[in-house]
Amino acid sequence: MLRRILLALLVLIVLAGGVYVIRARSFNERAEADAVPLFVPVIVTPSVQLAKGQVLLYKVTNLSENPDSFRLMIFNDRDGVPGFYKDFNKVRAGNTVSYDYEPPEARLTLGDATIDAPEAVRAVFAPVPGDDPGAVRRLVANVQIMRIQKRADGSASLDPPTVVPLERCNFEPRGFVPYTGGRWYWNCAPQMFPIAERWRQAGQR
């Protein structure tokens, strides 16, 4: 009799464990599916310090078969919000758009010297808020440092440009998915997703 009771308890424990594993796996799959819209791809540049007379030229090509929109955001080294942004709406398929930006002057300290120079800036190419969050996957971006040399006779020439390195990143939740942790971060990786640390515990840094 005791053996039958123990056997029955063992069967119940095994069944309960199986149900828990199945439910946990189903929950994780649903959580990952719900979190995919939060993985917003962007293109970022490092902080760029220009010399006087130089400008930044931002160029983006739409490689998809349909019109796509994106936002160019330009940050300085101090603030977490862009000091300038420009929306490019419905860029036609196969078309390239460009924008040249001349940073305002600021005080730059290099060692013991302090000089007036263009403000260092970095840029983010991101989807337009409320639009397609995956639009940036279909764009190719290019950033160049340019300088126009003016001649004494009034004509001008363009110096060879310096290409600024770019990196594709994901904007994604910091904690367990779906987003619950109250913190966001940039995860720069060659692949868009799945992300390597998707099962971090909520609130974990």
User: In this structure, are strands 113-118 and 184-188 parallel, antiparallel, or unpaired?
Assistant: unpaired
**CA 168, CA 126: separation in Å to the nearest integer?**
10
pLDDT of residue 108: 78
The yes-or-no verdict on residue 199 having pLDDT over 80 is no
Maximum average pLDDT range among 157-161, 172-176, 198-202: 157-161
Q: Which amino acid is at 205?
A: R
Q: Is the pTM of this model over 0.75?
A: no
pLDDT of residue 63: 94
Question: Which value, to the nearest 10 degrees, does the dihedral of the CA atoms of residues 128, 133, 137, 143 take?
Answer: 30
Tell me, rounded to whole angstroms, the distance of Cα 90 from its chain centroid: 20
**All domains of the chain in start order, with CATH:** 39-165 (2.60.290)
Mean of the per-residue pLDDT values of the chain: 76
Give tens-digit pLDDT for 72-122: 999 998 888 889 999 999 999 999 999 999 999 888 777 787 878 899 999
pLDDT of residue 182: 42
Q: Quick one: average pLDDT of 172-199? A: 45
**CA 132, CA 1: separation in Å to the nearest integer?**
65
